A and B are shown apart, each in its own frame.
Chain A
Amino acid sequence: MTLRGTTVPHAAGFVAGDRPRIVTAHFDDPEAHRLSRYEELGGYQGLRKALDSTPAEVHSVIRDATVLGRGGAGFPAGVKWGFCPEGVWPRYLVVNGDESEPGTYKDRLLMELDPHQLIEGALIACYAVGLTQCFLYVRGEMALAQERIATALNEAYAAGYVGRNIMGTDFSVDVVLHWGAGAYVVGEETALIESLEGKRGMPRLKPPYFPAAIGLYGQPTIVNNVETLSNMPWIMNHGAEAYRAIGTESSPGTRMVAVSGHVKRPGVYEIVNGSTTFRDLIYGEDMCGGIREDRELKAFVPGGGSAPWFLPEQLDIPFEGRQASAAGSMLGSGAVIVMDETTDIPRAALSLTHFYAHESCGKCTPCREGGTWLERIMTRIVDGYGTERDLQLLTEVGQSICPGAFPHAADSSRGLEAVPFPYRMNTICFVGPSAYAPVNSALTLFPEEFEARVRRDEGVPVAAPGRESRV
């Protein structure tokens, strides 16, 4: 391991299969983050194409392409761009680079390896919707991404791609690099805006549901994910038709998915949207190549730490939103976490519950108190001090956060049917229910592991002194 402050290379994470590449097309080129190289690779031509058309024409290309938001909710970008109220100016763009959902690893790569692609995408959005200032909000804990973007912006300003009279036209917009300071919930778009206003990063009450109506400083604001915007240059260069030719009718294009945990080749893969299945991804020879040491798959998280878990019987579900919801979960932020047969399920669930309890902003009681309760109860169960009553208590606390049937996958071996996504919630944002999601998945799909623990069956792990769970 060599120590070099700014030039730590990425561990190889991608296996370039024979698949279309849109946003990761430059990832094999270690110089692509520099402007000169990016220009050689055809950079800023998408912006030039946009500037040769009217804003309305650019907007309609993006609308026709149907770019589903990659931040988690999957809302089409072109439609969202149309939500800005008429006659209210100025309008802002906020780029969401706060990536911190457990398992998610793609936006950081896009920012580090191809920052100009993101800047170009953001400028295309600004031009199409009339946004006059862009704030590029990068997660605080990403020093290298901040460096790459700062350098890229400096180069782009000098070359006339950003700032006043871009490429000699009367299109003018500043792109300001802004960086966070460590708070998961700031990834939620209204919390992101609060944070950008210099406040505590707490989500705003809804409605309004979209910051496009009332956002930064109360003005119309488009918030888009890094990966969403990184698609824009390709679409301008190749057209909406070409984009829709990849993927399926309801989920066109590609998407980036990080697969971590117990697979042979964990990595970040750009997959064809809508048709690629979880089996292709986890077992495909050109992707993860199966479970490590050819063990059995026990369960997997299909869409980031907030998503209810899937079992091997859900492997043939494709990356398509409606099918994932019907099966009891969501695609979320493109993060698959794979657990093999050796996984201690209650312990795995505790790790995630701890995360969400820790990251609660404290604005709503069910999340602030409930998350902490879930974490404490789970801790004593995992450490070997839980009781039968605790299992029921977990459900009761969960119900106070998100009442009603909580979504989960089907388990046909036990005659269990799926409860479709989404759930009802008593909280302002998804952090509260996310604390319960792993508990519910683990309790519903693997009840015997909890029962064995509270019965203190022989052979069930009990924490040794000094090795209790770190929560």
Chain B
Amino acid sequence: MTDHFTPANLDLAHEIIGRYPVKRSAMIPLLHLAQEQDGWVTEDAMRQIAELVEVTPAEVLGTCSFYEMFKRQPVGRFLINICGTLSCQLMGAEDLIHHAEQTLGITSGDTTPDGLFTLAVAECQAACTEAPCLQVNYRHRYKVTPADFDDLVEELRRQAGEGEGPDPQSPETAGVPRHGVLSVARQHIPAERAAGPSSPTTNQGPPVWMPPPDAEEPK
């Protein structure tokens, strides 16, 4: 048994798996959980996820490597994704990207030597009317000018100087959670309220609230 998740995260992992009719469906949420714990997805984490959802580690890697958000090597504490798709491009994204590279002294795809910032040119972020936009650890910033960008970098540097950053469990804290922490609120289904997952392997007929087919009105 690989022992990579912390006990608290292992409990969470079991809770997440329990919501799905088929364990494998929990794979992407568990990869996110691993990334939240470590800042990126390690091989050990993938091995443990494989055990938890009962597939091979290769299958976990197969899924993990398909998705852009899963980083299989360390990235900066703040991942800055600048949108380069059409709506943002029309409103000056190319200049913003150029400016960001100058300010941070790196080209997109790279991480600053102090490990604080990774810069990337990203695809459409569903904020097209607020162009040009960017995301810091998947939190939006709208209509970003080069001056705004510099302020943002300042602000994030200051925040980093103040310590570990917000507690991922506390939604009220100000600031941007470090890379890997996505949603700071979690779904929790109380046992006494749960309807339970619907298993695809047993056909138990229509649910109780559906009248049997012969009772249905003619179409």
State the A residues within 8 Å of B (CB): 1, 3-6, 8, 10-11, 13, 54-56, 86-90, 92, 99-105, 107-108, 127, 130, 132-133, 139-144, 146-151, 153-154, 157-158, 160, 162-164, 169-174, 176-184, 195-201, 216-219, 258-262, 266-268, 301, 305, 335, 337, 339, 343, 347-348, 351-352, 354-355, 358-359, 361, 467, 470
- B123 near A179 with CB under 8 A, answer no
B104-136 at interface with A (beta carbon < 8 Å):
108, 121, 123-131, 135
- Complex A-B: 18 CB contacts under 8 Å: A8-B140, A10-B130, A56-B216, A56-B217, A102-B124, A149-B187, A174-B19, A174-B197, A180-B28, A182-B67, A182-B69, A183-B67, A183-B68, A198-B28, A260-B129, A335-B128, A355-B85, A359-B123
- B128 near A105 with CB under 8 A, answer yes
B54-87 at interface with A (beta carbon < 8 Å):
55, 62-63, 66-70, 81, 84-87
Given contacts A170-B208, A181-B32, contact A146 B195 (CB under 8 A): no
- B189 near A90 with CB under 8 A, answer no
Could you say which of A142, A144, A196 has the most chain B C-beta atoms within 10 Å of its C-beta? A142
**Is B39 at the interface (CB under 8 A from chain A)?**
no
**Is B8 at the interface (CB under 8 A from chain A)?**
no
Question: Closest 5 interchain pairs by CB?
Answer: A182-B68, A198-B27, A181-B67, A217-B200, A146-B183
Number of interface residues of B (CB under 8 A): 95
Question: Is chain B's binding surface mostly helix, strand, loop or mixed?
Answer: loop
**Is B12 at the interface (CB under 8 A from chain A)?**
no
Among B183, B185, B197, B209, the residue within 8 A (CB) of A171 is: B209
Could you say which of A11, A132, A467 has the most chain B C-beta atoms within 10 Å of its C-beta? A132
B189-219 at interface with A (beta carbon < 8 Å):
189-190, 192-200, 203-211, 213, 216-217
Residues from chain A with a CB closer than 8 A to the CB of B131 are: 260-261, 266
- A157 near B189 with CB under 8 A, answer yes
**Is B99 at the interface (CB under 8 A from chain A)?**
no
> How far is the CB of A360 from the nearest CB of chain B, in Å?
12
- A140 near B69 with CB under 8 A, answer yes
Known: A3-B175, A104-B128, A163-B193. 17 other contacts (CB 8 A): A6-B172, A6-B184, A56-B216, A89-B205, A90-B198, A90-B200, A102-B123, A108-B126, A127-B209, A141-B81, A163-B194, A178-B25, A183-B68, A199-B62, A218-B200, A266-B131, A470-B121
Residues from chain A with a CB closer than 8 A to the CB of B108 are: 470
Question: Complex Cα distance A90/B98, Å?
Answer: 52
Could you say which of B89, B121, B137, B176 has the most chain A C-beta atoms within 10 Å of its C-beta? B89
- B28 near A179 with CB under 8 A, answer yes
> How far is the CB of A324 from the nearest CB of chain B, in Å?
19
- B90 near A261 with CB under 8 A, answer yes
> How far is the CB of B116 from the nearest CB of chain A, in Å?
14
Residues from chain A with a CB closer than 8 A to the CB of B53 are: 198
> Who on chain B is nearest to A133 by CB?
B198
B1-56 at interface with A (beta carbon < 8 Å):
19-22, 24-29, 31-32, 53, 55
Question: Complex Cα distance A164/B192, Å?
Answer: 8
Question: Complex Cα distance A5/B86, Å?
Answer: 27
Among B25, B98, B189, B204, the residue within 8 A (CB) of A198 is: B25
Question: Complex Cα distance A195/B86, Å?
Answer: 27
Given contacts A102-B124, A141-B125, contact A153 B176 (CB under 8 A): no
Given contacts A1-B141, A260-B87, contact A266 B66 (CB under 8 A): no
Residues from chain A with a CB closer than 8 A to the CB of B68 are: 181-183
Residues from chain A with a CB closer than 8 A to the CB of B156 are: 3
Residues from chain B with a CB closer than 8 A to the CB of A99 are: 126
- B187 near A153 with CB under 8 A, answer yes
